[in-house]
Structure 1
Amino acid sequence: MAAAPVTIMCLKDYGTAYEVLDSAGGALRGRTLVNLNSGTPAEAREARRWVGDRGADYLDGAIMVPPPLVGESGAVFLYSGPQEPFDRHRAVLESLGDPRHLGADPGLAVLYNTALLEMMYATMNGFLHASALVGSAGVPAARFSELALGWFMPMILDASFAEQAADLDRGHYPGDDGTLEMNLNALEHITRTSEEQGVHAAQPRLMMQIAEHAVARGHGADNYLAVFEVFKSASPAPDPRPGGSATDR
């Protein structure tokens, strides 16, 4: 550490990083630390403060590829923190892959990482549950994947979906081509079919409940993207069932 202007570390968590850095004494002063640990935005901001108190620049980061792909040109690395040290050490960071600087807030890289991983797991779970659903009728997952991955996923996650993302920022959810009430009906069918076929029903039931929350908040005539309004708030919506309460969910 003392011999290099920049140190890149990737350990289990921020606590482990502090243990290692404490043993380095004053070696951080005047240098840049690039931290690729996993954690939360609050932990990243605290790390920026901790490193700054020891006289060093700090960049937080996230590795968005499996280890074998590190060093490849298409390997995406996310970074956040001050622009100047990022620019100063860009050549080093480019040796790892494609560096993306997200902004001055040191918590942004781990926040993006967490959001993208959530999207990955939700997508994988959707495919796995759907495969189990058709598998209950003896359909092989390989056969189902021809439609699910070869046609359906590209149709859903195409350029038009990216265009609709702007509607999320505007809170604009026109229901001309389909309302949330219609989608709630479909989610109810998915839940009942899962139960009927004897497969795990918790995931579709949760999606149904989230849609119910959005309808309870007055978005029944909007399109399905209106569930974004539920996700933006930690506060539960009123339970639409007679005599129900938000805590039932």
Structure 2
Amino acid sequence: MAQNSVDSVSKTSLTLLGLGAMGAALARTWLAAGHPLTVWNRTAVRAEPLAVQGATVAATPAEAVAANRLVVVCLLDDDSVEEALDGVDLAGRDVVNLVTSTPGQARARAAWAHERGARYLDGGIMAVPPMIGVEAAGPYVFYSGSRALFDEHGDTLAVPAGTRFVGEDAGFAALYDVALLSAMYGMFAGVAHAFALIGKETVAPGDLAPLLTSWLHAMAGSVTRTAAQLEAGDYTLGVVSSLAMQVAGTPTFLRTAAEQGVSAELLAPYFELMARRLAEGAGVEDLTGVVDLLRR
């Protein structure tokens, strides 16, 4: 007990607003590391297990914010932040907002915090709750906004998950977060289509799964090539399979889907973009020109 008391004195104290699955995981990790923690949650019963572990439970957001300079917010959405902190004195506080939001919402929330005398850091969590506090699982959080805040509290913020500062524009963490998650959902769409194709056959999903995994891993290398082409403004650099060649092959995918009784609605929009780019005379390019079509 004496050692824990000594450790806690040297650890930054902080406040956490929001004890959903992610918030509770963050709280447990900070407490386990010896950080004095004040918590608040709209449904007070969720704070009870953390109180047993040593957290101080605040009755209101204002009480929680008043307890510490460093205030971490992990609520449902941006509207929840507005509601919880409406009228709360933020002067002199360091607000770290881990609510999933858009870049525009993050920038507006940063301005909102600055108007109230607080420093602001926005965060995009690249992890699910079971990964929090498990270094081997590779969790990390994108942070953007006040560099001074990040430099001062970086060690504390790194306790539950790794940290990656991506710029002083408060919207960048959300931008990186949504960009990565958008790519993830695109991958999920392709995987769903692949499993749907074998649904009426005797091919077991478990047999296809390792092949899908290795194939997607191999194809991930194309991301670096796409980035290089975008930065150079030359979509013919390092082309392995031209747009014209790939468009020529798309009818096979659509016919296969039809034969298997599978909707092509996950593939067809992308194929249509490929065809549009080809119609513009970009047959010798890579698929990178689709990015330009999306920007229009």
Q: TM-score range by the shorter chain?
A: 0.7 to 0.9
Tell me the percent identity: 34
Determine if contact 1:13/1:38 at 8 Å carries over to the other structure: yes
- Distance in structure 2 (CA, Å) of the matches to 1:228 and 1:222: 12
Q: Distance in 2 between matches of 1:136 and 1:184?
A: 27
3-state SS in 1 of match to 2:284:
coil
Equivalent-residue separation in structure 2 for 1:176 and 1:46 (angstroms) = 41
Matched with 2:290 is 227
SS of the residue aligned with 1:63?
Answer: strand
In 2, the alpha carbon distance for the partners of 1:4 and 1:187 equals 58
2:198 alignment partner, SS class: helix
Q: Return the letter of the residue paired with 1:84.
A: A
Counterpart of 1:239 in structure 2 is: none
Note if 1:169 corresponds to 2:242.
no
Normalising by structure 1, we get a TM-score of 0.86
Equivalent residue for 1:82?
146
Counterpart mapping for 1:81-120 below 5 A: 81-120=145-184
Q: CA deviation at 1:164?
A: 4.4
Corresponding position of 1:142 = 206
Match of 2:25 in 1: none
**Which residues of structure 1 form unaligned runs of 5+?**
235-249
Pick aligned residue for 2:127 from 40, 49, 65: 65
Letter of the structure 1 residue corresponding to residue 74 of structure 2: C
SS class of match (1:11): coil
Question: Cα distance, 1:138 vs. partner?
Answer: 2.9
Per the alignment, in what secondary structure is the counterpart of residue 135 of structure 1? coil
Q: CA deviation at 1:163?
A: 4.4
Superposed, which structure 2 residues align to 1:116-131 within 5 Å?
116-131=180-195
Change (3 A) 1:141 1:57: same
Cα distance in 1, alignment partners of residues 232 and 254 from structure 2: 31
1:51 aligns with 2:116: no
- Size of the aligned set, in residue pairs, is 229
Report the CA distance between 1:227 and its aligned residue. Answer: 1.9
Give the 3 Å change call, closer, same or farther, for CA 163–180 of structure 1 in structure 2: closer
User: Any gaps of 5 or more consecutive residues in structure 2?
Assistant: 1-64
Distance 1:99 1:133, change over 3 A: same
Structure 1 SS opposite 2:280: helix
CA distance in 1, matches of 2:183, 2:129: 20
| Partner Cα distance (2:167, 2:256) in 1 | 45
Structure 2 CA distance for partners of 1:181 and 1:163, relative to 1, 3 Å: closer
For 1:22, the aligned partner's letter is D
- Is residue 287 of structure 2 the alignment partner of residue 208 of structure 1? no
Please say if 1:197 is aligned against 2:260.
Answer: yes
The answer for the alignment partner of 1:244 in structure 2 is: none
